[in-house]
Amino acid sequence: MSSHEYAAAIALDGLDGRCIGDTRPGFNGPGSVAVVFNISTLALPELDPWLGFTLLVPLGSDNEDTGFGVKFEPDTKNGRVKLAAHHHINIKFPRGKCGITFAKVGANDPLPLGLRRVPNLSRVEAKLHQGAFVKVEGFGMPFAHHGKLSEGWINDDLTLFGETLLRLLQRRSYTFLVSTHASILERAFNRGLPPPVDYPYGDDHSWNLERYRRVIPAAESTVQYNPAFAFKNDNAHLACVTQGQVQEIFWLNETVRELRATKLPAYFVPLNIRGPSGTSQFFAIIYRTNEFVERYKDHWSRVVQKEYLHLVLHKNWDASVNDTKESKQDQDGSGKWPRKFQAQVIQFPEHFSELTKHNTGASQYCRFILAVRCPRLKELQYFSKSSKALSALKNCVSLSFDIGLDDVKRKVKAVCQFTPDAAPLPPAGYNEEIRMRIHRDLVCGGTGLYDILVPRPDMKIVSQMIGQPDTLEICQIRSVPAVNFLDIPDKSLVDALVLEAISEDVERYRTYLSNRPFGLGLIAAPGGTGKTTALCEATLAMVFNSNIRKVFGSGPTHVAVSNFAERLYCRGAVVVDRCNVEKRGTETRVRRPLVVRGQRLDREVEAFINVLKSDSADDSAVACLSWTPTSNWTYALSPVNWLLVTIGSEAARRSTTKHAVVNLHPDDSKFLHDLRNEMDQDESWSRFFQVVRGEIDWQQYRLGEVIEDNEIEKLLIRIISNADVVLTTPGTAIYPTYSQVKLGAKGIVVDEAGCMNRADLYSIWGNTLRPLFMAGDIMQLRPASYEPRNKFRVDAQMSALEFFQGAGFPVYRLRTQLRMCNGMFDLARNLVYKDVEMKYGPFSSIDQPQHAIGRAFENWLINTCNFSDLKPSEVGTLEPVWMHTPGAYVGQAGTSRFSPNQVDAALELLSDFVRGTGVDASNIVVIAPYKPNVNYGNRQLFDGCYPALTKMPPLLTADSFQGREGQMAVVIFGTSRETGPGFTSDENRLNVMITRQQSALLMVGDMGVTGLLNDSKDFGTFKSASKFNAKVLHELLKIMIKRSRYFKKEASGGQVDTRFAADFDWF
């Protein structure tokens, strides 16, 4: 199966008349429009085989500089996207409804002068049957080529070659001059097109586990689908995106069901920590047979990675898990059997003295240790030593895991908004049907806009034209909807907004914001270029645009959403202050947008009460309760933060939480000032004001009349409802208060969209074409996918940003590195961002104060450590450096890698650096791609092994660190020549790790991990880079060696207690 493409020209009125032709030698038609005749025999579920032709219109080479942006297209070689040079319009003849004839062009046939020298020229005639129409793809998509006639031809239906584009597309017959033998064309045509294929999942894509259990196994195979950047119809789109999410958890859910039904032997060890009244806390040491470990090895690390689960205690071995005999009331009246208790995975058993006498036991078992909390039960038997317990093991338990089915259900429901009969969400109020049709087409890749924008002629008219002129009368076409985000009456505010861009980008970004076809804006840029700031500018433009006003924002993680909210309020304040400089004391002063970082409302109420109790306003206001996942609640810009400053809280005023609001500014939201005045005038709030303002403490307040929690909740809801911008994760947005705000928003913004899947975007965006701006980097972490049997795994990893880039929507790119000093971005620029002409910004000089730690590290390495292999950075730059650790132990820890030697080598070097130079350790961040190395490093810091690093932040994985940065970054690879590079070979993950720094980057690991890099035997010859698909990592190592930016630190592999790795076998 393949696609046959031939250079061609379209003869508009006879062989010697007007001609739309290929611009390559021999096809010198006017107007720079190329024609390709296609016989595509490729049958894919998202794309049918087709016969027709393609118009290729060059894009303007200055499109990026003038503010149109750049366009991308799918790169079929690697399944990603690449820069596009042409605008594509495919015209597909209806299958079986078009007559095709082929003939050789004779020597005496009249031809335009430019085509007479083309050898082997063939004539192809195509004539549509009565009532048949061509299918047009690419019509209506954004296009620009300033100064060329083709721009008016594509965008405004002006004449080119004496023909408008619409008249060309409405023809009933076509004559092609094709540059190949007629016999070749005829053979390809006579072989016929293969039948179309569809995804084998039916046309019902709503959430239904029972249906999934029928259709998914029936369609299972080892072949994964290719990534799809366009879909032939709505059903293909719905199948692809829903199944990409469902299959990610389908087999995992089946494993969880089996685990819940599998009884395991266990014994209990008392935990010397008192639990809540009436409860017992103990360790459960559970034994898994080798057969059990082998059976569930593919999913074990995934089910336990959240650490929290339920232990199910059964009364006997004989009854099945669901046996009703076990459901009778227990003798002590404490509950029915089986019993389910809260539990937590114990990562470091050696931290608990109660477990010192409990080793792994018999070799045929593998232990799994939980901490458990439950009501006191008489029948539980505890053991002080494993030797006594192993002979008993009479307790019978099973494991119950929560893998987040509800979240997947939310995503599936969001995708199903794009079924043709779905209700509008939210209601658009005007042109609703057309807006929904356009929106459905955009998420299918923009392939069907022609049928929406160009109404089909009346069939009676078509039938009357048989044998008549070759074109139809053009109906009145619909214009492409577009949004001017800078449609703001106050032009001084517009000027203040666009000044957020660096000076050379001001005009091009002004242009990009002023005309967004379909209301869709895409910002793509590497880390450190200011993409979040650019997104803030677009968001503020929405807020000040009277047609939008209310905005809902999101991101793929809590960290991304919080960072975006903090940057948005900060930049909003700067823009408003800039605009108000000339408006002192006038009524035309601009207000700062009210930006709310929303989280679950019950946590907001809990946080507010805890602030009053503790008289401290910070992130600790929501307690990290034991036996529950760590709270992601943050104080800055939360509804609690805004309510406290509105009332005038003393705790809020004293708060040192970064980015928190401490006082209500005169230019803050008028609603907040009105709310303060309203409450001040209501005496029922007087005692409440006293405790909030610190005039009385919590105990005194409780002695009198108190405000009920539901009244506090109402105040918080009022703040959320009146905010200009509310930001939450997609999962939080389903809660009623946020759901209502989301539906009421007129604009949507998403940060870190290169890591957000399409289902999450849909759950925020709705289906009525609300204006949308996204920012991110498709070369950093992609949406996660762990299930190898997921036939849509590549599509599941495709982010919303990457899909719309690949579909051909214009992208605004940032091309100036603003964070890193000169030299620090070179690795990423040379390895990952080759298609962008990047440069360093005005504050990248290594002499700048913010780069002091980089200068100190370079000076310490070169002049104090005197490593023989290491050469200084180029003059005027600071360059990354690699610490080579030959001999370091690297072992397996479940599916992960574990190298305590590399971790200790890195921490020891950092400790020496901090002690030797006096730099602030809080400015150093350490990243390790493998979780066991993060856990080990943090344990070393917690145990005080490196006192000089007390102020250093905890180690984090690369996946946890995206969106964050540090003045100095250290990356511990945790791999070796024996293990191979593992997932450090992933280009996106590697890119995240080498772009977190501002002034210094140290990489730690075995430089021989991808194979022989030079003639030195020190770097090993174990395995090739190609075998591991580690080309980018391989090139990085070659650069480091070529520049001599590495030094060696021997690490002994014989001093490691390898049993320690077993403590991580759950991950």
Q: Identify the pLDDT of residue 2.
A: 66
Q: pLDDT, tens digit, for every residue of 35-87? A: 898 888 888 888 889 999 999 999 999 999 999 999 999 998 888 999 999 99
Residue 1050: predicted pLDDT: 78
What is the pLDDT, as a whole number, of residue 1059? Answer: 38
Instruction: Give me the amino acid identity at 448.
Output: G
User: Which has more pLDDT, 240 or 77?
Assistant: 240
379 vs 710, more confident: 710
Banded pLDDT at 476 (limits 50, 70, 90): low
Bridge partners of 523, per DSSP, are 775, 812
For residue 127, what are its two tokens? 């004539």
pLDDT confidence of residue 468: 46
Distances (CA, A) of 341 to 312, 322, 454, 578, 990: 6, 17, 62, 57, 40
What is the DSSP code (8-state) at residue 872?
P
Backbone angles phi, psi at 546, to 5 degrees: -65, -15
Residue pair 951/920 in contact (Cβ under 8 Å)? The answer is yes
φ and ψ of 254, to 5 deg: -65, -40
pLDDT tens-place string over residues 908-931: 999 999 999 999 999 999 999 998
3-state secondary structure of 941: helix
pLDDT at res. 987: 93
Over residues 539-548, mean pLDDT: 97
The answer to whether 907 and 955 are in contact (CB under 8 A) is no
Q: How much is the average pLDDT of 87-109?
A: 91
What DSSP state is assigned to residue 940?
H
Q: Quick one: average pLDDT of 161-168?
A: 91
pLDDT of 939-992, one tens digit each? 999 999 999 999 999 999 988 887 789 999 999 999 998 888 988 889 999 999
pLDDT at 568 over 70: yes
From CA 851, how far away is CA 840, in angstroms rounded?
14
Q: Give phi and psi for 981, each to the nearest 5.
A: -75, -15
Query: pLDDT tier at 719 (50, 70, 90 boundaries)?
Result: very high
541 and 519 Cβ atoms separated by less than 8 Å? no
Question: How far is Cα 868 from Cα 884, in angstroms, rounded to an integer?
Answer: 13
Confidence band, pLDDT 50/70/90 cuts, at residue 1027: low
Strand partners, 9: 21, 177
Which of 136-145, 408-417, 456-465, 650-659 shows the lowest per-residue confidence on average (mean pLDDT)? 456-465
Which pLDDT does position 432 carry in this prediction? 93
> Does residue 754 contact residue 557 with C-beta atoms inside 8 Å?
no
Residue scoring higher pLDDT (728 or 1010): 728
Give the residue among 880, 933, 931 at the shortest CA–CA distance from 1040. Answer: 880
Strands (E), 549-670: 551-554, 595-597
Checking if the pLDDT of 469 tops 90, the result is no
Q: Evaluate if residue 163 carries a pLDDT over 80.
A: yes
pLDDT in tens, 836-876: 999 999 999 999 999 999 999 999 999 999 898 899 999 99
The backbone torsions φ and ψ at residue 460, rounded to the nearest 5 degrees and listed phi first, read -65, -40
Q: Please tell me the predicted confidence (pLDDT) of residue 1021.
A: 42
| Distance between CA atoms of residues 685 and 204, nearest Å | 54
pLDDT of residue 13: 85
Of the pLDDT bands very low, low, confident and very high (cuts 50, 70, 90), residue 366 is confident
Percent of the chain with pLDDT over 70: 88
* CA contacts within 13 A on the Cβ side of 544: 29
CATH fold label, 849-1062: Rossmann fold (3.40.50)
Q: What is the mean pLDDT of the chain?
A: 88
* Closest CA relative to residue 130, chosen from 474, 475, 467, 473: 467
pLDDT tens, 397-436?
999 999 999 999 999 999 999 999 999 999 988 889 999 9
Q: Which is it for the CA torsion 557, 558, 559, 562, positive or negative?
A: positive
652-698 tens-digit pLDDT: 999 999 999 999 999 999 999 999 999 999 999 999 999 999 999 99
Overall residue count recorded for the chain in this entry: 1067
Cβ-contact 830, 1039 below 8 angstroms:
yes
Q: What is the pTM of this model?
A: 0.92
* Residue-level pLDDT at 978: 86
Q: Higher model confidence: residue 118 or residue 129?
A: 129
Q: Residue 331: its pLDDT value, please?
A: 36
Confidence of residue 346 (pLDDT cuts 50, 70, 90): confident
553, 751 contact by CB (below 8 A): yes
Task: Identify the DSSP state of 518.
Answer: T
pLDDT confidence of residue 319: 46
Region 637-659: mean pLDDT is 97
Q: Comparing C-alpha atoms, which of 248, 398, 377 is closest to residue 309?
A: 398
d(CA 840, CA 745): 37
Residue type, 544: F
Which of 68-72, 279-283, 437-441 is predicted least confidently?
279-283
- Residue 691 CB neighbour total at 10 angstroms: 23
Asked if the model's pLDDT at residue 574 lies above 80, the reply is yes
Beta pairing class for 924-927 and 966-972: parallel
